[in-house]
Structure 1
Amino acid sequence: MADLAAILDEPVSWTAAATDADLRTFLSDLQANILKGHGRSHAAHLFLTFDGMAPGAVAALVRAMGAHCTSAYAQLLRNRRNPPYLDGGPVRCFFLSARGYRALGPHAGLPAGEAFAAGMAARREVLGDPERARWDRVGWRDGEPDALILLANAHPAAVTEDLEIIESWLNGTGARILVIERGLQQHRRFRPDADPEGVEHFGYVDGRSQPLFLREDLDRERQALAAEPGGEAWSPAFKPSQFIVADPNGRTPHAAGSYFVFRKLEQDVRGFNAAEDALARALFGKPTAQQSDRAGAMVVGRFEDGTPLTLHDGERRQAVPNGFTYADDPKGAKCPFHAHIRKTNPRGDIRRELKLPDDAADRAPIMARRGITYGAPRPMSADGSEFADAGREPQHDSGLLFMAYMASLEAGFEFTQRSWANNPSFVGNLNPAAGRPSTGVDPVIGQTATAAERAHRYLDGHTPGAVPKTLSFENFVHLKGGEYFFAPSLSFLRSVGL
């Protein structure tokens, strides 16, 4: 019999579950959306409070909801059976915060971890977050959530129907809905012969560089990488143990779950676009369209279609390379050290800077991201390739519902935000002996009020003799709410309190 540690030590092959009883048990007890994103374009996220409920009543509610949650195995089977193998019907997930576990009283133990026990709002000094009083007034300032219900489907009407059924049922349980956050994935068509791709409201492809720990996904990715220049210089393969842990309240030997971060991030699109234009003028004088695109890519690290800045050669590729590293850009001449994707996925920079034997330090904090955009969809051009709201871009009430799974909040999300995104020395100034200036904070998600830490060094590496310039880029992403949760095993959800 394979134990859980052995299953989590190598990428999981869900198709092998047909003949492997232990693997089948694991996948049937794990919630959906962890091993692989649910892939649905529409979602609703209900945040609940159990205030005033007795532990037995909370347990009864959890059991009832658990009976309707989707397992990882069911998700993968449905995706496989229904072309295009992404949108295979409804997905329902259920998460508990530390407050939710405490509300269960003697029926459950609290998952480990100081950050989880404290909750996200209490970790604002660690993260550099704004105080709760600056979060959204509706819902997020009224109380701390005990639970989160995630509903997802291909069609908005199906999500709404599911949502109305659950709202009606909750009315008789004693639980109260604090806030409902609807998600709608925006898409752009970057290539006439390719499918539209998911983008965030600034217009950039989102979620391209994901860690893969499902064998079938890895096989497909490696086929694509084989056609890239340089191939798999940066491997997408990760152990499931980086994202999945044993459920301390599980009812089977293979019961597992994952720590889950939810953050509502409002995007000031108009401000961001204006800052991109100002940066292009400061760098290039009267910028061409290509130079304007490059200025934005120097902030993000990729062009809007996902092409990595470090690989840009002026040509539009048929497929976006993703096996790249920064090995041939040690001084940040092609892709600035402060660029968002270099800050949050350094791809060997740490190993090179500190002369480490492997890439473990670069890879260990990587999370399995499962975000979706929120707010009114931005209008598109007739061919779906460009946003059509220049001068009218949203400044409030739209952005990204950032969600991610990990085995440790402290070693995953909190480390990434504190030691990478918010750290003005990361990554180009890790070795003081190199004598380099500070990098500055992540211009997209870095959180600091220090003007000097928002000043970044830019160099047009495509222009011979170009002189570096230090320019500021303000923060246009603002936290409006969020919490830490745990995604329990289904065996726990369906039997707690019995």
Structure 2
Amino acid sequence: MTDISAKINQIDEIVTSFDESKFEYLLDEIQGNILKSHGRNHAIHLFLKFTCDEVTAKQWISNFTHKYVTSALAQAEETKLYRQNKDVPGKIFANFFLTQAGYVYLGYENDLFPEGKSFQKGMKHPDIQKELGDDVNQWEQGFKNEIHALVLLASDKITGPRSKEAKLLERKNQNLLRKQPALLTYKAEKIKQQLNGIAEIVHEEIGYVLRNSGTGAETEHFGFRDGVSQPLFFKRDIDKEREHSDFSKWDPRAPLSLVLHKDPLGKKGESYGSFLVYRKLEQNVKAWEEDIKNLAEKLKGSEPADPDLAGAYTMGRFHDGTPVVLQKTPSHKEPEENNFNYIDDLQGFKCPFQSHARKVNPRGDIEKLIPSGASLEKEKMNRIVRRGINYGHLPSEKPEKDAGLLFMCFQANLENQFNLMQNKWVKNSNFVKEKTGTDVVIGVEKRDEQGKDVKETYKWPTKWGESEQTEVDFVHWVTMKGGEYFFAPSMSFLKSFAPDPCCDIVFRGVPKEEIQAAHNMISELRNYQQRNWSIGLNGDTLQPDKFLAFFNQRNLSFKFYLLNQFPLGDSSAYDENIAKLNQYIEDIRNQEIEASEYKIAELEEYRELDWSILSKTDTFKPDRFVSFFGERELPFKFVVDSGNILLNDESSYEENIRTLKHYISSLNQ
């Protein structure tokens, strides 16, 4: 096996299951969303404080992981199917993260924690508050509580084959983004119920991905393209980037050591996790836009005011992602330009040093502008992997509060990555030059000790690319409302407190009939047990009997017990086989409930969109709904409205949903 520790520290392209299976054993140990974004448009974040004993908490963690947490390998396989336009099973994407307090609650000593003083202190600690420039008094109450764990749940609107169509509708009508998918709501409520007696949900956040209605590109509340210039780990992503970049000015590749940290509690040699920084950043959209207009007016000179350029000065990019260092107008081209650095703008005449993009990613400024500054390669190891998502009111509503970004980022080392970036770069007025000012977007808290809005005086290019500068004040309209440090443990650690459920259920026929057949087989086994009869082979002919045949047909392991002509096994085989069948019944029941819940969510969203449930209305061939109900011998009501023909009405959605809910209830009896 490849020496994974050495491989992780190589600055190299990492080949994954997107192309071949060389690193599947590593991806199977890492949670998804770390090396590549989960890609869902909607998310719910549940912040937990355990209230039960540590053993019960550990069992819940493992059961939750087995059922929901998505490994990087599973994510890669789902992405591959999606890329090939194949039907991807509708599933909830989930992550599970622990805080230092969470590890303590579960009974672990300090020497078993993931290394890092920031993680062990937590984001509320006075030292960390000072280092990051935070003010816990401005935090929401939920974040002030002790937090042990974070559950991230994510989903898209439709669980079936029309997911792409539903995403397009959301893109065109952003009001749809505020409404959570039925599947996500359904599962979140179910998980909350399961947490009763296990943990208190001390805080909850609901997120959604803002997208440009035309291009589909991710944006944030101030209207700028988001998620650009990420470190790339996968060969497929690197090859895609090479289609429009030769990496001559900026190489986006990153080693796995940028983001992966050895999990000291992992059960395998490939056990790695990652540190997660979570920060709720409230954005005052109305005030921000007013300040941008004011800045544009003061810089206009003899030319008309240019709010687009003024905004680009603050962010470092235009709204469409065009770097302001390259040109003074947006390009409106896709994809955005990322092959650039600041070598031709070392005076900040095109892109001000205080602009957000330049502050958090200097692209060689440190080496060029700071005496004995770090090399570009070393500077690049301070990067983070961003995974944020929006929350609250839509930007079109011009919110002043209760809207913004749920900022999340992964890294291998908090001190050398996010903390350094925030402390040494973002809030340092003298980075990378004296009296530059803090990051104009996120540099300091919104209010000072007297509760007044903080204004900073910055020097801005009066004209793009020229040396003349104009001093204009700007208010920081982003407020940190709370956050915490987490660690994303390895899959083997999370799964280690409870056995894996059966995943390979093989049978043909109606599920409820199969459950009954297994119950009948259990009754037969108990009858044989009372009579002390052989099982597995007929005692006279030594031919396979009905028990062995039943187990073999379903790929279930079987224990023999034979006494007649020669001994085989012992009497414990009865109970072991009965236990296997009981687990088999439970697995079928869980699988059926899961599948039915997904189908209910799909039906609810089809009803909301007034979509037909039969098939494409031009063919009238049975669709997934018809086959799903038919395979379970459940009655089904069609809904078809093609304009030329109407078959039943919207009440059919509700009848089908009721049928599935009744089916779920019958499985639980």
CA RMSD of superposed structures (Å): 2.4
Partner in structure 2 of residue 74 of structure 1: 74
Per-residue deviation at 1:11? 3.1
Contact 2:212/2:218, CA 8 A, preserved across alignment: yes
Residue by residue over 1:66-95, the C-alpha shift from the partner in whole angstroms, topping out at 9 and shown as x without a partner, is 212100010111012124889974311100
Among all aligned residue pairs of Structure 1 and Structure 2, give the percentage whose two residues are the same amino acid: 37
Contact 2:211/2:219, CA 8 A, preserved across alignment: yes
Q: Distance in 2 between matches of 1:271 and 1:314?
A: 24
- TM-score, scaled relative to structure 1: 0.87
Distance 1:158 1:250, change over 3 A: same
Q: Distance in 2 between matches of 1:286 and 1:397?
A: 39
Partner in structure 2 of residue 136 of structure 1: 140
Uncovered stretches (5+) of structure 2, i.e. residues with no partner: 158-180, 500-669
Partner in structure 1 of residue 484 of structure 2: 483
User: 1:195-344, aligned counterparts within 5 Å?
Assistant: 195-226=215-246, 232-284=248-300, 288=304, 291-314=306-329, 316-319=331-334, 320-344=336-360
Q: Distance in 2 between matches of 1:242 and 1:97?
A: 20
**Which shows bigger deviation, 23-32 or 307-316?**
307-316
Number of equivalenced pairs: 461
Residue by residue over 1:19-74, the C-alpha shift from the partner in whole angstroms, topping out at 9 and shown as x without a partner, is 43xx2111111100001011111001000001x43221221122122212100010
Matched AA of 1:135: W
Q: 1:395 aligned to 2:404?
A: no
Partner in structure 2 of residue 60 of structure 1: 59
Instruction: Determine which of 177, 183, 192 is the counterpart of 1:158.
Output: 183
Contact 2:92/2:155, CA 8 A, preserved across alignment: yes
Q: Distance in 2 between matches of 1:112 and 1:184?
A: 32
Partner in structure 2 of residue 170 of structure 1: 195
Partner in structure 2 of residue 370 of structure 1: 387
Partner in structure 2 of residue 432 of structure 1: none
Q: Distance in 2 between matches of 1:74 and 1:184?
A: 23
Distance 1:453 1:248, change over 3 A: farther
Distance 1:329 1:84, change over 3 A: farther
Partner in structure 1 of residue 100 of structure 2: 98
**Which shows bigger deviation, 311-320 or 329-338?**
311-320
Q: Distance in 1 between matches of 2:328 and 2:353?
A: 19
- TM-score, scaled relative to structure 2: 0.66
Partner in structure 1 of residue 439 of structure 2: 442
Contact 2:262/2:273, CA 8 A, preserved across alignment: yes
Contact 2:274/2:411, CA 8 A, preserved across alignment: yes
Uncovered stretches (5+) of structure 1, i.e. residues with no partner: 380-388, 430-437
Q: Distance in 1 between matches of 2:227 and 2:60?
A: 33
Partner in structure 2 of residue 407 of structure 1: 412
Per-residue deviation at 1:140? 2.2
| Relative contact order, higher structure (CA 8 A, sep 6+) | 1
Structure number, greater radius of gyration: 2
Residue by residue over 1:422-466, the C-alpha shift from the partner in whole angstroms, topping out at 9 and shown as x without a partner, is 00010133xxxxxxxx100001110165999822111134376x7
Partner in structure 2 of residue 187 of structure 1: 211
User: 1:105-124, aligned counterparts within 5 Å?
Assistant: 105-106=107-108, 109-122=112-125, 123-124=128-129
Contact 2:63/2:498, CA 8 A, preserved across alignment: no
Distance 1:28 1:378, change over 3 A: same
**Which shows bigger deviation, 96-105 or 148-157?**
148-157
Partner in structure 1 of residue 173 of structure 2: none
Instruction: Determine which of 121, 127, 132 is the counterpart of 1:127.
Output: 132
Matched AA of 2:367: R
Per-residue deviation at 1:99? 0.5
Distance 1:299 1:314, change over 3 A: closer
For the residue of structure 1 that corresponds to 2:310, the secondary structure is helix
Q: 1:350 aligned to 2:362?
A: no
Residue by residue over 1:383-420, the C-alpha shift from the partner in whole angstroms, topping out at 9 and shown as x without a partner, is xxxxxx5xxx1011110000000001111111000000
Q: 1:428 aligned to 2:433?
A: yes
Per-residue deviation at 1:496? 3.9
Per-residue deviation at 1:469? 1.3
